[in-house]
Amino acid sequence: MTITRFAPSPTGRLHVGNIRTALHNWMLARQAGGSFILRIDDTDATRSREEYVEAIRADLSWLGLDWDREERQSARLERYEAAFEALKDAGRIYPCYESAQELEVKRKIQLGRGLPPIYDRAALKLDDQERSQKEVEGIAPHWRFMLDHKEPITWNDGIRGVQKFDPAQLSDPVIRRADGSWLYMMPSAVDDIDMGVTQVLRGEDHVSNTAVQFQIFTALFAAGFAATENAGKTVPAFAHEALLVGREGKLSKRLGSLGCDAFRDRGIEPEAIIALLARLGTSQPVEPIADRALLVANFDLATFGRAPAKFDEHDLDRLNAAIVHQLPFEAVRARLPEGMDEAGWHAIRPNLSHVGEAAEWWQLVTGPIAQPAFSEEDRAYLAEAAALLQWNGDPWSTLTGALKQSTGRKGRALFLPLRQALTGMGHGPDMGELLILIGENEAQTRLRSAAGL
């Protein structure tokens, strides 16, 4: 079974890039009839906040991205200890004693010499006595995973194609800090094994991390770590999508803060966000598709490109208006002004960019309205309209037909004064639908008022 996961750290709110990653992993799982895991990566106890966990759940729920199970890394510390000991026994991790300042000096020296800033494995040259002396001095070690330099690291990426890394050009990653806390690399691999994750789709900024994690996976398998019945026995299939950029083609700080709160404040529908992000960065057209089943059915990693995916808020606004025009009454009933029924929604919907604008347009029906000043000729015309108004199945067509015949008016001269008298505006919803909603008595009152009667 296909199993994907979305693994946010609860150190802040989800932003649009996180949402896109969550959506694509959700789509992969739903397309295959598989399972989508929400995994809260909360091993960083100093920065993780429960309020952000709640916010992540709320945002995903608002977007309609349901998950089949939830996991918390903070509840899995024993598994990480077991993996740590297994790798330690296998000789694949080793203690290091350099301070952050010492490592930074080494990095600068290497860069100054035109060399890649790769850890020099100086800690491996320490003997037992030297390590003991470090401990006596109160220097607690951090721990690195030892990369195997014998063979290149290769995999067939679901988006980028064949990837190849020389492990000798990568630093042995730190997997545990001196205070005993965990970094991302090993716990993530442990979780993917234990949870049977089959596909990992994430941003291209993780490509080198994947290279390192491939060796962590294989080392854990070699150490016999896949202990549970449902655990994965092979490395997941990885795919790395291009990152989002702003309209100007550059990484934008705004994209790092643009999230569900900002979308909700602007009246953006979840369906519009999904329609945009589902195909952003692919060769498929971005269209106002409110049917998620259709988006899921056509989701295909082969359509993803390597160029940065441009996120344009104007495109989102355009999609939102088109999505709003498709929303059925039942989907928006709770957000509509009091008294607006299905007929009212149908009449006003084509004029909306956001559902929240419905109240303003509904006032054309409920009143009061502010009528413009009319010329004497138009007042006489509106007085005749009041006299000719007849209430039947289509009072607007009946009225305009009678006025055209009696006055000879047509086009703008025929319709505009009537619209202005009845709604106070020169544009708006279809008058055939709107006049019925206004009602006969109110329509007569407005026409007579505009005529000065």
Give the annotated binding-site residues: 253
What distance in Å separates the CA atoms of residue 258 and residue 16, rounded to the nearest whole number? 6
Residues in the chain: 453
The alpha carbon of residue 308 and the mean position of all alpha carbons in its chain are separated, in whole angstroms, by: 16
CA dihedral 390, 393, 395, 399 (to 10 degrees): -80
Q: 95 CB contacts (<8 Å, ≥6 apart)?
A: 123, 131, 141, 142, 143
The alpha carbon of residue 228 and the mean position of all alpha carbons in its chain are separated, in whole angstroms, by: 33
Binding residues for ATP: 253
Structural contact between residues 390 and 376, judged by C-beta atoms closer than 8 angstroms = no
The alpha carbon of residue 128 and the mean position of all alpha carbons in its chain are separated, in whole angstroms, by: 51
Give CA separation, 308 vs 63, 243, 251, in Å: 24, 6, 9
What distance in Å separates the CA atoms of residue 432 and residue 449, rounded to the nearest whole number? 21
- What per-residue string of b and e applies to 54-66 under the rule 16 or more CB within 10 Å gives b? ebbeebbeebebe
Structural contact between residues 282 and 308, judged by C-beta atoms closer than 8 angstroms = no
CA dihedral 123, 129, 130, 135 (to 10 degrees): 100
Tokens 């349901």 — which residue? Answer: 66
Structural contact between residues 244 and 309, judged by C-beta atoms closer than 8 angstroms = yes
Structural contact between residues 147 and 215, judged by C-beta atoms closer than 8 angstroms = yes
What distance in Å separates the CA atoms of residue 309 and residue 311, rounded to the nearest whole number? 6
Structural contact between residues 265 and 313, judged by C-beta atoms closer than 8 angstroms = no
